[in-house]
Every structure is written in structure tokens, then in C-alpha cells.
């Protein structure tokens, strides 16, 4: 294994001190002279048309400065989320905003507003809309298809019999709108020794960002300054500028710290533009901090599934065919796309010889959906795990063995296109986890002890974990400092800084001499990927690598030009460029930087590559002449799917009288190539484990179908796991085998870290109950109690968004 | 629809004497709000679901605080925190049942500030009611939970009357089991209320969960010695192990006569609008030994008369199982 100076070593990220001392500034901590406070008025009904807004009671009210309605902001075409709307499609849809001198006044003003809304039919369960005669969540239809060939509304209805058969667990026969396949699934099923077929439901639930989204904005000389709770930094810019209706060069985004996004703040969300419009109207800075309750309305949620799956297995356990059908609950804004991703995950993780995916995205009048950690992959991971165990039981195989024989590896071809992978070592992850967990002993231990029973489970997680083509930017100044510019965004995962260590590694410099620039457009940040989708590590170690390589190349050229010889005569170390034939001859980085300023051109950033993004161009223009500039677009070779993988092992003790279970042991193994940042990786694996435990047993949307009311609009009601609901010790490790398509061998891991957990725990609950599969997440206490007591479940089969 | 998270303007009174507090309560009546630990106060006010004009903070009144041994048991001041109850050697010695119940309230942070008076006086946790909807309990004429498709997993099996909300207090079950007495005072004097009568259902009072009048303050809880050192059993089943309300809980006191139960009180939480006495179980338990067989023999009596709603019939086997566990030797 390569002996790196920085890669694979722990370090102290620069934002840590602020977070532990309370000095870190989040969006709501910023103030500007004359700043007003805005509050949102949202829809009290699930679907309707605003016919009248009466704000006359605010006339002359002390401290109330202005009102912003949907008529004051650009119209957004349905079903996309609007900044403000006159056609609310869920309870909590923003209708107007009030700005006042303080938050209390803004809230008092809210009580005096009268909004008349004409009610329209609504649906909170896709099947209620899909059935013939059922209500449509939008007047334009109940299905929205997003595709490269064209997007649009559709109205899809199934007969009552088709719905009834689907509820009964039979293969869906109703219309669907998405399909892909590879291989011959009929032959695959014909060749199978065992066939497993099951319906399933995975209920959606909130992202639950601790920081309720806040945005403050003001205008200065035609530029809009936006202080936002943002998951990404540079990636927000195009969308934010588009929402504000200005050129990107006229927007400055400040986002130093963000209190969680989890997929809900990847790009600029609609209300991020509201303070900008309000500020323009009122001529004063405006801050919008939504309430905790409103974060549950517009803070996004995981897509729910109602589906059916059929899998065939050969005698040796190999999956011969998989057939997956998923109805997606895509909320009112047709966001998500989780269904096909789930199908992709089946293809990649279990490598069926043949596969078909069919999908139907159905609109509901529930909270808007969005990508949530492992969108699609993690729902299907939970569905698959107990079914794999069921197949193993029927084949008389060990659950570990059936997973190993189907484990994705570097030669696997995936998805409809049967694409190659950069590398994959799931089998190694399973074996490492089994060893740490002592699988054989735990699997074969006596299970029953009075009213307690032991269950064990294995879970596998996957998400694509990288992309390419983004920019890197480094700068060395005459004081010898190495400036590493990171445009990813500080979500709290520290990858905004851990990826810059790739540049420090190339530059062979001391970390103490590095200065990390992040958190504001004015920090001159390069064009970067979204801080999501587990892509940061793979993508930005590459981008930092190419920028640093550019800097090294320039430093060698400058030194050769100054001291003689050719660039090839020089190498770097100890923050010096030295002659490899006479190591005493050389220049310090500081001296090279000063010389770069003198020489100008590409050395100082006066010129730059044509292929870098306009955001990077502006950053380089701003810092040109301050030192030696290393800047490049990542044009490194890259082919195939970049997988992030993880495996987890769980042992629980389930009380057959109360339905409660205690998680006795948890082992999570990351398969993410070279480990970049051990503490960061452990944080991801442990945080993902807890999240998965919440999804497996606790978290879900609940809506009253009679009025569209959501039951859970707070932390308590949403049931996130607490300290005592998770194991005392969560053990993690990594396979740590390098990926060949990253300069340091690194891939991402964020999302699989959760998928493996929800899958393993769901499997362990099933195992404890003798292999009973609920076909549903979460598996709540009441479901377990009812099952053990031989009572029917309270909900209709395939019902969703319910207790 | 407005949404709030800023405290409204409200007058704050911090009396140092009980009489001063009683005068304030008398003066403000329904417009006054008695403040203990605040854990069932600030949410209501921030959500603008309740609109008191005056907060009367009892925490500065020394006489309302602390744990005292009396001639016949103990007296616990209403503003004594749950944490103090859990740590009390006296209560641990004689009434460990209450310690076990208090230990399962909410979270350590809430137990540090939450008071016994507040815990037993807290309002219904029905999610419809807490949203500020105009249901029966809020003075309206509908129950959203008890409706054809109402989402009522956490609601009552017994004694519903228009409202199907449950009593959410963990300590309430223990206090009813221990035959505690609640001391209520007003400017007109003092009332001693048996714990069993302190908690009232919707048939008695649709908008109050206790029998406290608007001019009264719960000043103390007295626990008689008759159950001191008895055999106790407490268990709470909730979705989560911290910061959650009981799906079903049980508090049991037993006097043993050798190996057999001479007398007992079984009280369930989470199944009715008040702590729910299992009278048939108590009768059947008399003379029984503690064993799995005894539990099996009487468990089904626990749920007799249950009227499950759409989503809560799981509470029937759950409460039966908790009886079984209480009967285990």
C-alpha cells in the first residue's frame, strides 16, 4: 500500500473549532444593516386554488414592512415546486410571505391574514389516486414522467381488480410508464431452482435537517448576496441565478456551515430565491428562517415505494432473474426518481443474469420528495435483505454464502446497458465483516431464551460514488502558503476539506501551511460537483489532483526558467523545487510563487485553460497575480460505473412479548477504495448505521387520508432513533483496496453506509421471527406484536403513509 | 396557514410564596398559565395553540419543592423535578415504583427540568389536538382521531367519550397504583384528591385531563405508607427508549402473603384517557402465586371491554403481555 503523507491520515478540519465553540456561523446567524425578518404563510389544505388573499388587516400594523405573494415572483410550471404558489398541492405549500422588523411581529402578522382557497380533490396514497375514479394530485394528471425524450403529465388508472390483485401480492398488471431490462428473464425464471416473489412497501419520511432552512439576501450594485443553508456551494450557483433571474456573475453565495441536508439542499431550492425577490421589492436585506414545522412541509422527504419483486435462484444460489415493479410516491412536485435507481441497485448488488424493471411515478398531495441518502438504493436494500434470506433458507444455504456467490466484483456488468465498473469488492467486504462480526458463531448460536429471541442479519448497500469533469484550483503565495480552494460546500462531512488533501499530497507540503478556502463565492472557489450522491471524494480528489499537478508542472517550469535546465530536471519536496542532479539547487515554493507573479501568464492566473467552467474562470481572474495558480479541469480517463459499497452485520435480541428489540452488535464495512480520512469514514459509517436503524424500525410519514394532514411535523413525532435505540458500540472498518480510476484509489461511501444498515436490521428482525417477512419498512412495534399474537395488521395491504 | 416558533409576548410572574401564586391564579383564571418545568408549556405557546396572558412560575416557591417524610408516607412538592425523585433515597427505599416510572419519562434533559406536578398535569398528546385543530378537547365538535380513517395508533382502547386521547403521564400510573393523594390549593382552601379521581376522562371533562379547577394549583403529592416496600412492577413499552410516550405501560403494586398475592393494584397507561385500573385482573390475582401459569390465567382479563380503533388493536396483546410479565416470579 502506498505510504501517503496525507491520504488516509486523520486531521482537524478548519470548521471544527467553530462548531465546538459555537462560533460557527450558520445562515441564520448572519445579519445585515436594516435586515427584515420574513415568515411564510402556507396552505392549510392538501390541494386547492387560492381565490383571494386579504392582507388589509396588516395595513398600518406596526413593524410590518411588506407582503410577497406568488404574483410577485416568477411563475414555475407545474409540477415543479414554486417559490410561492396560488395552486397549493400539499399542506404546507408556501402561499405568501410577510416581512417585518422582527420575527415576532412577522408571526403576529400571520394571524391577521385571510386566504381563501377553493378546495380540490387530493390523495395521500398513490393507490388511492391510481384506482379508477380516484382523485388526481394535480389537475393536470396523477403521474408525471421525467425523461430525456420529454417530460409531462399523464393520467394513469388501474381497475379496482388490478388494485385488489396488487394488494393481494400478485404481479401488477396495470399500466406503467418506465421500463428497462437486460437478458432473458423468462429463461432465468425457468432455470431457477427457487423463486421468491413478494409485494413490498417502503414508506417515505422526512429528511429532518437539524437546521431548518434559512436564507438571507440583499442587493448591492446589482449583485444579490445570498446567505443560505446550502448542501453544495458552487453547484448551487446556476440554479440560484436562474431562480433569481440574473446572471451567475451577479450572485454571491455565502454558506460557511450547514446543519444537515441529506439530499434536501443539494441544489438551490425554490424559497432560496424568496429573500432575493423580497429584498428587491423592499430595498432592504431580508432573512427567511422557516419554522421547524415548515421544515417538515418543504424540507423534502424520501420517496415511498409500493412494489412487487420476483427473483429466481439457481441451486448454487446465483440469481438467475429479477423482475421488479415499483410504484413511486413522488409527492406533488414529481421529484425523486428513486424507482429506477432501486432497480439499478438490484442489478449491481446482486448481479442477476437477467432483469426487468418497471416503474410508475405517482403524484400525491404529500410533502415534496427529494433525494435522500441512497434514494432508491436504500429502500430496495431493505426489501431485498429478508428476501435473500428467504431464498437462502429454501436453498438450505447460509445467508452469507448466497450473498457472496452473488456479490458484485470488478468484472460485473450492470444496469440495462450492462456497463462495466471501475472496481468492486463486495465479497471482500462481506468476508471482512463476517470475520469481525463472528458470523458463523452468531448465526449458529441458540436463538431462543425465554421470551427473547436472537436474530442476525446481513445488509448490503450501494450507491454510485463519483463523477468527473469538475475543476480544481490551488494557489501558492509568496509567503509560502498553499491555498486550497474548495467549492464543494460544507455539509458537515468534511469532504470539502478531505478532498483538498489530495492536492497537499501531490504538492508534498505540510498541512499546517495549507489554507482552505471555502464557504463563499468571494473566497474564489472553483466549479465543483454537488455535495451529494457520495460523489465528493472520488470527484474532487481527482479535481484537486489535476490542479496540484498543474501547479507542480508550473513550478518546475518556473524553476527551470530561473535556475536553468529543463523542467524535467526538477522535482519537489519539503516545499522546495530542486534539481534532481543537485538537490541543493532549487527554489522554495514561496520564491517560485513570487517569480510566478513576475512572469505572469498562466503562472499567475492571468491566463487559464479554455475548458474550465465560468465559475472557475471568475475565481482565477480574482486571484490572478497573487501567486502561482494551479488550475485544471478533471480530464483524467474515466469509464464505467463508480460504485460505493458497504456491508453490515447486525445481531438483535427481540422480545416476543413487547415487540421491542435491542441491537446487540453492529459491524459496518465500507468498500470505498482507498480510505481518505479514517475519522470521516467512521463518522459516515456510524451515522449511516443510525439512520438505517431509524428507517428499519421507526421513521415514516403518516397522513390522515380524510384531510391530508401530516401527523409528523416534529422530531418527536418522526421517531428518529435516540442514543438508547442504537447499539452502544458500532464497529466499522473498510476493505481499503484502491480503485484504479482515482489517482489515490478513492471512491465515495456516504449512502451505502446507511443502506447496509437498514437492510441488515430488517433482515435480523425477520430472522428473529423465524423468517417472517413483513415486506415493509419501517417494521414498527405494533406490526411485530400483531404478528406474534397472530392478529391481522391494522393497515390495508400495500397501504402507505399510515401508522 | 401560519406557523410559529417564536414565543409570544406574555406576562411572567415569579411569586415566592404559595399565597401570592394562588392570588395570581385567582386573578387571571383561565387566562393564567401555571409554569413548572415548562416542558408542556412552551410548545403550546410557541405554536399559538394556547393563549394565556400571564405565566405564573412556581419554581421560586420553596414550599412547593422537595421530598418530605410524613407521619404516613411521603409528600413530594409539585415542583420537585423527576430527576430529584429518581435520586431520592427515601423514594427509592419505599416507593421504587415511582422511581422506575419517573426514570422512563421522556429524556434525561427533560427529567432534569420536568416536575412531578407538570408530568401528572400534562395535556393530551393526541397529534390532532396538538396541531391546534378544533376538536372536542379543544372546544370543537369533532374528533379527528375517532373517524373512519383516523390515524389513531396511539389512542385509547377504553373509556373514550367523544375524545379518544390517552393519558400520557408515566408517573400517573405509578401514583394511582400507590394510592397517592394530590393536594390542590386555591384562595378558598385546600382539597385532597385521590390520584384515581385526579385524572378525569372526557365523559367527566372534555377539555381537562385532571380535576384541577382553573383557580387551583397542585401543590404536592402525598404517597401513603400502605404500599411502602411492596412488590412493584413497572414497564413502559414505547417505540423509542428515550423521549417517547408509552404505547402501553403498566404499574403494579402487590402485597404478598407468603408466595401468594394478598392484594394488588394493576394500572395501565396508554390505553385510556386516565390511568386504567385492571380491576378484574386485581381480583383474579388474589391468591395466585407469581408464575407464568398465573399470568397466562389472568392476562386476558386485562383487555376485556377494549374497543380498538383503526390502528391500535395491537395494544390488546401488549397489555395482556405486560400483565403476564408483572405476574412472573
List pLDDT tens digits, range A74-120.
999 999 999 999 999 999 999 999 999 999 999 999 999 999 999 99
Same domain, A695 and A656: yes
From A583, A609, A633, give the residue that closes a domain. Answer: A633
Whether residues A498 and A623 share a domain: the answer is yes
Q: Summarize the confidence of residues A339-355 as an average pLDDT.
A: 97
Number of cross-chain residue pairs from A and B with Cβ atoms under 8 Å apart: 130
Tell me: do A424 and A556 sit in the same domain.
no
Residue A149's pLDDT band (cuts 50, 70, 90): confident
Q: What is the reported pLDDT for A148?
A: 82
> Is B231-326 in the same CATH topology as B64-122+170-227?
no
Q: Is the pLDDT confidence value at A276 over 70?
A: yes
- Choosing from A633, A656, A683, the residue where a domain stops is A633
A90 inside domain: yes
User: Are residue A664 and residue A554 in the same domain, yes or no?
Assistant: no
Domain that holds residue A526: 469-633
Q: Which residue in the set B131, B311, B318 is minimally distant from A785, CB to CB? A: B318
Q: Evaluate whether A486 touches A472 at the Cβ level (below 8 Å).
A: no
Of A113, A293, A705, the CB nearest to B3: A293
- What 3-state class would DSSP assign to A576? strand
Q: Tell me the average pLDDT across A677-706.
A: 97
Q: Residue A19 is inside which H or E element, if any?
A: helix A16-21
Flag whether pLDDT at A124 surpasses 80.
yes
3-state secondary structure of A651: strand
pLDDT for A594: 98
Predicted confidence (pLDDT) at residue A2 exceeds the cutoff of 80: no
A232-267 residue pLDDT tens: 999 999 999 999 999 999 999 999 999 999 999 999
Instruction: Specify the residue for cell string 466484483.
Output: A409
Coil, strand, or helix at residue A384? helix
Q: Are residues A388 and A423 in the same domain?
A: yes
Chain B residues closer than 8 Å to A91 by CB: 1
Sign of CA dihedral A766, A755, A664, A202: negative
Query: Is the CB of A803 less than 8 angstroms away from the CB of B2?
Result: no
Chain A CB contacts of B131 under 8 Å are 709, 713
Same domain, A334 and A460: yes
pLDDT of residue A1: 61
CB count within 10 Å of CB A183 equals 17
Does residue A76 sit in the same domain as residue A25? yes
> If you average pLDDT over residues A273-295, what whole number do you get?
97
Range B231-326 has CATH code 3.20.20.70: no
Q: Looking up cell 499530497, which residue turns up? A: A505
Q: Which of A51-60, A328-337, A748-757 has the lowest mean pLDDT?
A: A328-337
Of B237, B240, B311, the CB nearest to A803: B311
Q: Name the domain count of chain A.
A: 3
Q: Which residue, among A456, A451, A490, has the nearest Cα to A652 in the 3D structure?
A: A456
For residue A205, pLDDT beyond 80: yes
Between chains, do A794 and B239 touch, taking CB under 8 Å as contact?
Answer: no
The verdict on A546 and A475 lying in the same domain is yes
Residues of B with CB under 8 A from a CB of A: 1-9, 48, 107, 127-128, 131, 144, 147-153, 235, 237, 239-244, 247, 310-314, 316-318, 321-322, 324-325
pLDDT of residue B117: 98
Residue A478 maps to a domain: yes
- At A730, list the grid cell: 458500532
State what percent of residues in chain A have pLDDT above 70.
100
DSSP secondary structure code for residue A487 in this structure: -
- Round the average pLDDT of chain A to a whole number and report it: 97
- Tell whether A511 is covered by a domain: yes
What are the 10-residue block averages of pLDDT along chain B, 329 residues in total?
93 97 96 96 92 96 97 97 98 98 97 98 96 94 96 97 97 98 97 98 95 96 97 98 96 97 98 98 98 97 97 98 95
The residue behind cell 423521549 is: B243
Q: Are residues A41 and A104 in the same domain?
A: yes
Q: Which among A610, A633, A656 is the end of a domain? A: A633
- Write out pLDDT tens, residues A488-513: 999 988 999 999 999 999 999 999 99
Domain range B64-122+170-227, CATH class: alpha beta
Residue A169 lies in a domain: no
Find the helix or strand (DSSP H, E) in which A717 lies: helix A715-718
CA dihedral A335, A341, A343, A349 (to 10 degrees): -150
Residue A231 lies in a domain: no
Same domain, A83 and A41: yes
Residue recorded with cell 409528600: B75
CA-closest candidate to residue A783, choices B312, B324, B146: B312
Q: Give A276→chain B minimum CA distance, Å.
A: 21
A612 and A713, same domain (yes or no): no
Which run of H or E residues covers position B260? strand B260-269
Identify the three-state secondary structure at position A483.
Answer: strand
Could you give the CA distance from residue B139 to residue B159 in angstroms, rounded to a whole number? 19
The count of other CB atoms within 10 Å of the CB of residue A582 is 11
CA distances from B95 to A46, B113, B257 (A): 50, 21, 19
- Chain B residues touching residue A111 (CB < 8 angstroms): 2, 48
CB B36 within 8 Å of CB B221: no
* CATH code for the domain of A661: 3.30.365.10
Across the interface, which of A41, A104, A659 has its CB nearest the CB of B2?
A41
Q: Is residue A392 domain-shared with residue A489, that is, in the same domain? A: no
Position A336 scores a pLDDT of: 78
Helix or strand or coil: residue A294?
Answer: helix
Alpha carbon separation from A609 to A482, A507, A545, A619, B140 (Å, rounded): 21, 20, 16, 13, 70
pTM: 0.97
Amino acid at each position: 500500500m502506498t505510504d501517503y503523507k496525507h491520504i488516509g491520515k486523520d486531521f482537524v478540519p478548519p470548521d471544527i473549532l467553530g462548531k465546538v465553540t459555537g462560533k460557527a456561523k450558520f445562515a441564520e446567524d448572519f445579519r445585515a444593516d436594516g435586515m427584515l425578518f420574513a415568515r411564510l404563510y402556507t396552505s392549510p389544505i392538501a390541494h386547492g386554488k387560492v381565490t383571494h388573499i386579504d392582507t388589509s388587516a396588516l395595513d398600518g400594523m406596526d413593524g410590518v414592512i411588506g407582503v410577497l405573494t406568488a404574483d410577485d415572483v416568477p411563475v414555475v410550471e407545474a409540477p415543479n415546486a414554486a417559490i410561492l404558489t396560488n395552486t397549493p398541492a400539499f399542506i404546507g405549500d408556501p402561499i405568501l410571505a410577510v416581512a417585518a422588523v422582527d420575527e415576532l411581529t412577522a408571526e403576529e402578522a400571520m394571524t391577521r391574514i385571510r386566504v381563501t382557497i377553493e378546495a380540490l380533490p387530493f390523495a395521500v396514497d398513490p393507490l388511492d389516486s391510481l384506482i379508477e375514479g380516484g382523485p388526481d394530485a394535480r389537475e393536470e394528471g396523477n403521474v408525471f414522467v421525467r425523461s430525456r425524450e420529454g417530460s409531462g403529465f399523464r393520467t394513469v388508472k388501474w381497475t379496482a381488480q388490478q388494485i385488489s390483485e396488487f394488494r393481494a401480492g400478485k404481479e401488477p398488471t396495470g399500466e406503467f410508464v418506465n421500463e428497462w431490462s437486460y437478458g432473458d428473464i423468462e429463461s432465468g425464471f425457468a432455470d431457477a431452482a427457487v423463486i421468491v416473489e413478494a409485494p413490498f412497501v417502503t414508506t417515505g419520511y422526512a429528511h429532518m435537517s437539524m437546521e431548518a432552512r434559512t436564507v438571507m439576501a440583499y442587493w448591492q450594485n446589482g449583485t444579490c448576496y445570498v446567505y443560505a443553508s446550502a448542501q453544495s456551494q458552487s453547484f448551487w450557483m446556476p440554479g440560484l441565478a436562474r431562480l433569481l433571474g440574473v446572471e451567475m456573475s451577479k450572485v454571491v453565495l455565502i454558506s460557511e456551515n450547514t446543519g444537515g441536508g441529506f439530499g434536501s439542499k443539494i441544489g438551490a431550492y425554490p424559497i432560496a430565491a424568496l429573500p432575493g425577490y423580497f429584498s428587491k421589492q423592499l430595498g432592504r436585506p431580508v432573512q427567511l428562517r422557516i419554522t421547524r414545522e415548515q421544515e417538515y412541509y418543504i424540507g423534502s422527504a424520501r420517496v415511498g415505494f409500493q412494489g412487487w419483486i420476483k427473483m429466481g435462484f439457481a441451486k448454487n444460489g446465483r440469481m438467475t432473474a429479477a423482475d421488479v415493479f415499483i410504484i413511486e410516491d413522488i409527492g406533488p412536485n414529481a421529484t425523486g426518481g428513486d424507482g429506477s435507481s432501486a432497480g439499478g441497485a438490484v442489478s449491481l448488488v446482486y448481479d442477476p443474469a437477467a432483469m426487468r424493471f418497471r416503474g410508475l411515478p405517482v403524484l400525491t398531495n404529500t410533502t415534496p420528495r427529494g433525494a435522500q441518502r441512497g434514494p432508491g438504493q436504500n429502500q430496495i436494500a431493505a426489501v431485498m435483505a429478508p428476501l435473500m434470506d428467504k431464498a437462502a433458507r429454501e436453498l438450505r444455504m447460509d445467508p452469507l454464502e448466497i450473498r457472496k456467490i452473488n456479490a458484485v466484483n470488478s468484472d460485473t456488468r450492470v444496469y440495462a446497458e450492462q456497463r462495466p465498473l471501475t472496481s468492486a469488492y463486495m465479497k471482500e467486504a462481506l468476508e471482512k465483516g463476517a470475520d469481525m462480526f463472528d458470523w458463523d458463531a452468531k448465526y449458529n448460536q441458540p436463538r431462543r431464551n425465554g421470551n427473547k429471541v436472537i436474530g442476525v442479519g446481513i445488509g448490503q448497500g450501494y450507491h454510485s460514488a463519483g463523477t468527473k469533469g469538475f475543476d480544481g484550483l490551488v494557489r501558492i503565495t509568496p509567503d509560502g502558503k498553499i491555498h486550497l480552494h474548495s467549492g464543494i460546500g460544507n455539509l458537515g462531512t468534511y469532504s470539502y476539506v478531505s478532498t483538498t488533501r489530495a492536492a497537499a499530497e501531490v504538492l508534498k507540503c505540510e498541512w499546517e501551511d495549507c489554507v482552505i478556502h471555502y464557504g463563499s463565492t468571494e473566497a474564489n472557489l472553483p466549479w465543483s460537483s454537488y455535495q451529494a450522491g457520495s460523489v465528493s471524494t472520488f470527484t474532487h480528489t481527482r479535481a484537486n489532483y489535476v490542479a496540484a499537478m498543474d501547479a507542480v508542472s508550473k513550478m518546475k517550469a518556473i524553476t527551470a526558467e530561473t535556475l536553468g535546465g529543463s523542467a524535467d530536471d526538477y522535482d519537489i519536496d519539503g516545499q522546495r523545487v530542486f534539481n534532481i542532479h543537485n538537490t541543493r539547487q532549487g527554489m522554495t515554493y514561496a520564491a517560485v510563487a513570487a517569480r510566478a507573479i513576475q512572469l505572469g501568464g498562466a503562472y499567475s492566473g492571468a491566463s487559464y485553460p479554455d475548458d474550465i467552467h465560468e465559475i472557475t474562470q471568475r475565481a482565477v481572474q480574482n486571484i490572478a497575480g497573487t501567486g502561482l495558480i494551479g488550475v485544471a479541469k478533471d480530464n483524467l480517463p474515466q469509464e464505467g460505473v463508480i460504485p460505493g459499497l458497504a456491508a453490515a452485520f447486525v445481531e438483535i435480541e427481540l422480545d416476543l412479548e413487547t415487540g421491542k428489540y435491542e441491537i446487540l452488535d453492529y459491524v459496518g464495512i465500507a468498500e470505498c477504495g482507498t480510505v481518505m480520512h479514517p475519522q470521516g469514514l467512521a463518522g459516515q459509517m456510524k451515522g449511516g448505521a443510525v439512520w438505517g436503524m431509524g428507517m428499519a424500525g421507526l421513521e415514516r410519514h403518516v397522513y390522515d387520508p380524510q384531510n391530508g394532514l401530516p401527523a409528523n411535523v416534529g422530531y418527536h413525532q418522526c421517531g428518529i432513533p435516540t442514543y438508547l435505540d442504537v447499539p452502544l458500540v458500532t464497529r466499522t472498518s473498510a476493505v481499503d483496496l484502491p480503485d484504479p480510476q482515482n489517482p489515490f484509489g478513492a471512491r465515495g461511501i456516504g449512502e451505502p453506509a446507511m443502506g447496509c444498515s437498514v437492510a441488515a436490521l430488517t433482515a435480523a428482525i425477520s430472522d428473529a421471527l423465524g423468517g417472517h417477512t413483513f415486506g415493509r419498512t419501517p417494521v414498527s412495534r405494533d406490526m411485530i406484536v400483531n404478528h406474534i399474537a397472530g392478529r391481522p395488521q391494522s393497515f390495508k395491504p400495500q397501504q402507505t403513509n399510515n401508522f | 396557514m401560519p406557523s410559529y416558533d417564536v414565543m409570544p409576548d406574555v406576562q411572567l410572574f415569579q411569586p415566592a410564596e404559595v399565597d401570592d401564586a394562588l392570588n395570581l391564579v385567582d386573578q387571571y383564571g383561565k387566562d393564567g398559565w401555571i409554569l413548572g418545568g415548562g416542558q408542556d408549556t412552551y410548545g403550546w405557546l410557541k405554536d399559538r395553540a394556547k393563549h394565556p396572558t400571564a405565566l405564573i412560575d412556581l419554581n421560586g416557591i420553596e414550599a412547593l419543592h422537595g421530598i418530605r417524610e410524613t407521619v404516613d408516607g411521603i409528600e413530594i412538592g409539585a415542583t420537585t423535578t423527576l430527576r430529584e425523585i429518581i435520586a431520592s433515597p427515601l423514594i427509592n427505599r419505599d416507593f421504587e415504583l415511582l422511581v422506575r416510572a419517573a426514570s422512563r419519562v421522556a429524556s434525561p434533559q427533560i427529567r432534569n427540568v420536568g416536575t412531578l406536578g407538570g408530568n401528572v398535569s400534562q395535556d393530551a398528546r393526541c397529534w390532532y389536538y396538538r396541531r391546534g385543530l378544533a376538536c372536542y378537547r379543544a372546544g370543537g365538535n369533532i374528533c379527528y382521531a375517532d373517524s373512519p380513517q383516523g390515524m389513531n395508533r396511539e389512542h385509547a382502547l377504553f373509556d373514550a367519550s367523544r375524545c379518544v386521547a390517552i393519558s400520557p403521564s408515566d408517573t400517573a400510573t405509578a401514583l394511582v397504583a400507590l394510592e397517592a393523594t394530590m393536594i390542590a390549593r386555591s384562595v378558598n382552601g385546600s382539597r385532597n384528591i385521590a390520584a384515581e379521581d385526579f385524572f378525569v376522562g372526557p365523559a367527566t371533562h372534555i377539555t381537562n385531563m385532571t380535576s384541577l379547577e382553573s383557580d387551583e394549583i397542585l401543590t404536592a403529592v402525598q404517597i401513603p405508607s400502605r404500599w411502602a416496600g411492596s412488590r412493584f412492577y413497572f414497564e413502559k413499552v414505547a417505540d423509542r427508549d428515550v423521549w417517547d410516550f408509552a404505547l402501553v405501560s403498566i404499574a403494579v403494586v402487590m402485597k404478598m402473603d407468603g408466595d401468594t398475592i394478598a392484594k394488588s393494584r394493576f394500572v395501565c397507561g396508554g390505553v385510556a384517557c386516565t390511568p386504567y385500573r385492571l380491576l378484574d385482573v386485581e381480583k383474579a390475582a388474589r391468591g395466585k402465586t407469581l408464575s407464568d401459569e398465573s399470568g397466562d390465567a389472568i392476562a386476558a382479563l386485562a383487555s376485556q371491554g377494549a374497543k380498538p380503533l383503526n390502528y391500535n388493536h395491537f395494544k390488546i396483546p401488549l397489555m395482556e403481555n405486560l400483565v403476564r410479565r408483572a405476574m412472573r416470579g
